[in-house]
Structure 1
Amino acid sequence: MTLVLKFGRGDAARCRFAISPLQETMSALLVLKAPGRHGWYLPWLRDVQPDLARLDLGLLHAASPSNGYGPDFLWPSPTSPLTTIDDDLAQVRAADPATVAAELAEHVRRLDSHALRDDLHRILVGDPVIARDTLATQQHLAWQALVEPLWDRIRGLLDADIATRARQLADGGLERLFADLHRRAIWKDDELHLTGFRAGTVDLRGRGLVLVPTAFGWPNLGIGPTDDTSVPPPALVYPMLGTAQLWEPATRSPAVGRLLGSGRASVLAETAVPSTTGSVAHRLGLAPATVSEHLTVLRQAGLVTATRRGREVLYRQTPLATALLRSEPW
């Protein structure tokens, strides 16, 4: 089955990129439900287990997608590359109670009634305001335990993906952008065909499309809302480039350590994922001033680049640095 997005006049110009800390959080919960989906999540799963044991996320787990369906209000569409977790949660808490009640009722009908605890069932089908606010509170707890400790690294890769995709869009339009976005996204005749979804057609009607890269959503493709009458544009959630880099240890070459010194070489290795000075300092246990000095020298030597993101500056290895770190001594 295929869902078709129809692009009309003005839709291409209104395609934009966004990120969502809450999308990452909800996707991380789905990884917990299917931990064997891909081996590279295993280091993360081991790290978060102690925190999960202390959290009550029962209602949120019960409300998470089942068989491809989940309450849409728990997955608000982001609007900006600078979206914060507070922005996302504000949208959840502002969801109309009637919408919350209808979506939770539809979700509960799809669940195995024998697998749902009675107390959770009562909340899900009870007062929608209580259910909504309880779920938002548990989403915040899940964010703090599952995603926030890694957010700087995740955010760096999300930004790198957006930069790459935006260049594709500028160079070759929508045809170039969708050529390798996802194997289930096919561009033809001014339409985007998404295979594996409920058959139907969505006329974008000048709203455009929001493109949302994700770290925890691999290898899936998501879309919503898909109602022609919906005011916000649909958001297409796709796996970001370089997801495996989140879990791979930083590459360090002994020869580069001797050339640059161990401290500077370690800082360089950590910039495989775009990172701020503070995040590198935290990961290496170094003073931010020391890391800043190393990064300045590395930038002057052409081994890292610096890109401003709001008030922050992200540092990333250049191709020369990557080649050096992967080299073997003769």
Structure 2
Amino acid sequence: MLRYVVNDQDVAAVRFGISPLSELGLSLRAIREPSWFPLQLPWLARTEQARADLDHEALMALIDERSWTPDFLNPRPESPLTRLDDELAALAETPAEVFRRDLEGVHGFVPPVFAGSSRAALRRIVRALTELWDACFAPYWPRMRAVLEADVVYRGRQIAQGGLHAMLNGLSATIDYSDGVVAVRLRDPRDRLQRIDGNGLTLVPTMFTRRASAPVGTGLPMIMYPARGQGALWEAERVANPAAVAAILGETRASLLAALGDPASSTELGVRFGVTASAVNQHLRALRDAGLLVSTRYGHSVLYLRSELGTALLEGSRAA
């Protein structure tokens, strides 16, 4: 059990971040144990051939049988616009003592493949992760990032509607926030208590954890949690829509309206509905101009959400 003790100042400093490097590191869980991540089986199938040419010796030495990864693969993102290149550059400069400590925190020792010069080992790790990214992440990252960004917007709505307590307790069944303590039930048998003391708490959505995760060591406070909306990531979606609304708006626009009870980007919606991004954007702009959707910018993406008017239109047609 990990317990983060928060005060009023810390509560105000809770923020979200997205880390491409963390996704890379955590994806090793799915590569090592595919059955643990059924929602990502389509991704694993699509990338199977590409993964054959990766440096598996180095990559698999970064994870153990518990699916723990060293903390240097889980940097605390400083913004929602974190770039992989920046994270890899920082990883390459990891001090030797931190490199050894983080590996020993996972394995109890430094794996033989990383014995010797830490500089050489880090160069190999950066090269292996870059190859993993280019082969398996780069083609799909816009979809993945759209899911992560939509999750962050949803959590922001939870804070606005129900407060921080409701949002934190809704992240995972393994997180409980009460009486100034954020308790995270981990597989780690250790019982740890860490005061945030003004350092802020960063929440990081990911597609490669089934429950809440946290750094192995006592670094800056951070919780990684399963992002919402992963189930629709790899398949085209057909959302049932009321016939009356479809008769007015058309089937595609009515389906988009019905689907946007949670925020999503045009890229994500294009994947879910099996249509081009340009066609989706045309429909979304028309629905927004009619007052049926609202939009907000998050990082490089524009996320759309059904407005009160759009919800009233759907509910009215269902009641008719």
TM-score (norm 2): 0.80
Return the letter of the residue paired with 1:222.
S
How far is 1:128 from its partner? 0.4
How far is 1:265 from its partner? 7.7
Aligned to 2:185: 195
- Per-residue displacement from partner, 1:179-233 (whole Å, max 9, x unpaired)? 222112112221112223321211111112101111222x121112642xx4xx3
Partner of 2:66, secondary structure, is coil
1:251 equivalent in alignment to 2:238: yes
- The share of aligned pairs that are identical, in percent, is 32
Partner of 1:212, secondary structure, is strand
- Please tell me whether the aligned partners of residues 226 and 234 of structure 1 are also in contact (alpha carbons under 8 angstroms): no
Query: What is the aligned counterpart of 2:229 among 237, 242, 248?
Result: 242
Aligned to 2:60: 61
- Please tell me whether the aligned partners of residues 152 and 279 of structure 1 are also in contact (alpha carbons under 8 angstroms): no
Higher mean C-alpha deviation, range 85-94 or range 247-256 = 247-256
Aligned-partner Cα distance in 1 for 2:255–2:155: 29
Q: Would the alpha carbon gap of residues 312 and 109 (structure 1) be closer, same or farther in structure 2, given more than 3 Å must change? A: closer
- Please tell me whether the aligned partners of residues 148 and 205 of structure 2 are also in contact (alpha carbons under 8 angstroms): yes
Query: What is the aligned counterpart of 1:293 among 277, 282, 303?
Result: 282
- Please tell me whether the aligned partners of residues 275 and 316 of structure 1 are also in contact (alpha carbons under 8 angstroms): no
Query: What is the aligned counterpart of 2:196 among 198, 204, 219?
Result: 204
1:313 equivalent in alignment to 2:302: yes
Partner of 1:222, secondary structure, is coil
Aligned-partner Cα distance in 2 for 1:278–1:238: 20
- Per-residue displacement from partner, 1:164-184 (whole Å, max 9, x unpaired)? 222333444432222222112
- Please tell me whether the aligned partners of residues 175 and 182 of structure 2 are also in contact (alpha carbons under 8 angstroms): yes
How far is 1:17 from its partner? 0.8
How far is 1:101 from its partner? 2.8
Aligned-partner Cα distance in 2 for 1:99–1:311: 33
How many residues matched? 309
1:179 equivalent in alignment to 2:169: yes
Aligned-partner Cα distance in 1 for 2:277–2:263: 19
How far is 1:127 from its partner? 0.6
Higher mean C-alpha deviation, range 170-179 or range 10-19 = 170-179
Aligned to 2:99: 100
- Please tell me whether the aligned partners of residues 123 and 130 of structure 1 are also in contact (alpha carbons under 8 angstroms): no
Partner of 2:214, secondary structure, is strand
Return the letter of the residue paired with 1:314.
L
Q: Would the alpha carbon gap of residues 169 and 253 (structure 1) be closer, same or farther in structure 2, given more than 3 Å must change? A: closer
Aligned-partner Cα distance in 1 for 2:3–2:119: 34
How far is 1:301 from its partner? 3.9
- Please tell me whether the aligned partners of residues 209 and 235 of structure 1 are also in contact (alpha carbons under 8 angstroms): yes
Aligned to 2:212: 221
Aligned-partner Cα distance in 1 for 2:50–2:306: 32
Aligned-partner Cα distance in 2 for 1:140–1:226: 25
TM-score (norm 1): 0.78
- Please tell me whether the aligned partners of residues 213 and 238 of structure 1 are also in contact (alpha carbons under 8 angstroms): yes
Q: Would the alpha carbon gap of residues 110 and 67 (structure 1) be closer, same or farther in structure 2, given more than 3 Å must change? A: farther
Q: Which runs of 5+ in 1 are unaligned?
A: 112-120
- Please tell me whether the aligned partners of residues 11 and 206 of structure 1 are also in contact (alpha carbons under 8 angstroms): yes
1:51 equivalent in alignment to 2:50: yes
